[in-house]
Amino acid sequence: MEAQPRIGLLWRREWDPPSADPPKLHGVFAAFSRLSVEAEPVLYSDDAVDDVREQILGLDGVLVWVNPIENGLDRSVLNPLLQEAADAGVFVSAHPEVIRRMGTKEVLVATSSMSWGTDTRLYRTWDDLHAELPGRLEAGAPLVLKQMRGMGGHGVWKVELAGDGSVVAQHAAGGATPETMSLEDFLERCRDYGAMVEQPYQRRLNEGMKRVYLTHDRVVGFTQQYPRGLVPPGTELPPATKVFESPEAPGFQDLRERTESEWVPELQRILGLETQRLPVIWDLDFLHGEGDRDYVLCEINVSSTFAFPEAAMPGVARATLERIGERPS
């Protein structure tokens, strides 16, 4: 009897302690179980990297849910471990190299010529930001600055000139309200972010964000969300709930068609990624644009795409087993 592949689901111990019942990824475990594969938990922490290495090097594949930056923790220890596992023949999704290409805000610059793109700038250093941002603000339009990695709006700012050398700046995290400060003070707040990306502020932000979930190059679901960060104070928004929709949901079919037939193929060409290298679960976040850009890419999530539609979980499991089956023996 042929042995079943060993699959691990890896998450940071701090994200979902062993005592959690059921674990956050219980639906993914169930999806593998229905395919007669019992996936195993891989509880990661930076101080247990040797134990995790021993475990994942014995696997055939590992799916990873670890945010790039969270509560002072990052992936600087994890990513080399995942690269080591991939070099040893373990299927890893998302692979650290794939995350580097498509999972940082720099992808907004790389794809700015696409129909989802805008006038996007990259400031590689704080000195670049300090030298160039004042001139960009002189145009008068509000701008959004985003640190290269992050979540929950941390390191994301809306900024515009207010006159007399001051700016109005609003942080996207934690329900922050606009603050008036000198431009120099604002720039100092950005000093520790490292590289930052600039995009035009999207004035239709109050209409919400559409999230498109994918397995490789196929759409597997949607959700409509209403982010609170950077929305003008006093704006009335629908409840901040997340309702998952199927790939066939009315109201999303134009987005599905453009994602599958136009955007993902062009993204792959620009980034040099074959379909098999795309993650088994990832998402594209779109804001409503203006003029001839009906959708504007806000970000791509590949490091820790959770939660995602339950209906997509069987496909994630099947795609994982297919990728493992395609590996050279």
User: What digits encode the pLDDT tens for the residues 279-289?
Assistant: 999 999 999 99
- Could you give the count of Cα atoms lying within 13 Å of 56 in the half-sphere of its Cβ? 34
Higher pLDDT, 57 or 231: 57
**Considering only the top CATH level, what class is 102-117+204-307?**
alpha beta
Tell me: pLDDT of 151 over 90.
no
- 7 phi/psi in degrees, rounded to 5: -115, 135
Which tokens belong to 226? 């209403």
Q: Which residues of 75-101 are buried (b: 16+ CB within 10 A; e: fewer)?
A: beebbebbeebbeeebbbbbbbebbeb
pLDDT value of position 141:
94
Is 323 in a helix, a strand, or coil? helix
Is 195 in a helix, a strand, or coil? coil
Contact 166, 182 (CB under 8 A): yes
pLDDT value of position 238:
86
**Distance, first Cα to last Cα, the chain:** 18
Smallest Cα–Cα separation from 270: which of 119, 102, 122?
A: 102
pLDDT value of position 1:
46
Contact 88, 81 (CB under 8 A): no
For residue 249, CA distances in Å to 99, 218, 226, 227 come to 29, 15, 18, 21
- Could you give the count of Cα atoms lying within 13 Å of 321 in the half-sphere of its Cβ? 16
Rounded to whole angstroms, the Cα distance separating 157 from 229 reads 9
- Comparing 58-62, 124-128, 239-243, the range with the smallest average pLDDT is 239-243
Determine whether 326 is exposed, middle or buried from the number of CB atoms within 10 Å of its CB (0-12, 13-18, 19+).
Answer: exposed
- Taking CA 156 as the corner, what is the angle to CA 152 and CA 161, rounded to the nearest 5 degrees? 150
**Rounded mean pLDDT, 216-241:** 90
**For the chain, which residues make up each domain, given as ranges?**
7-94+315-325, 102-117+204-307, 121-200
Rounded to whole angstroms, the Cα distance separating 268 from 41 reads 31
Strands (E), 131-281: 143-147, 156-163, 166-171, 179-182, 196-200, 209-215, 218-225, 244-245
Domain over 7-94+315-325 is classified CATH 3.30.930.10: no
Contact 159, 168 (CB under 8 A): yes
Is 8 in a helix, a strand, or coil? strand
pLDDT value of position 327:
67
pLDDT in tens, 92-125: 999 999 999 999 999 999 999 999 999 999 999 9
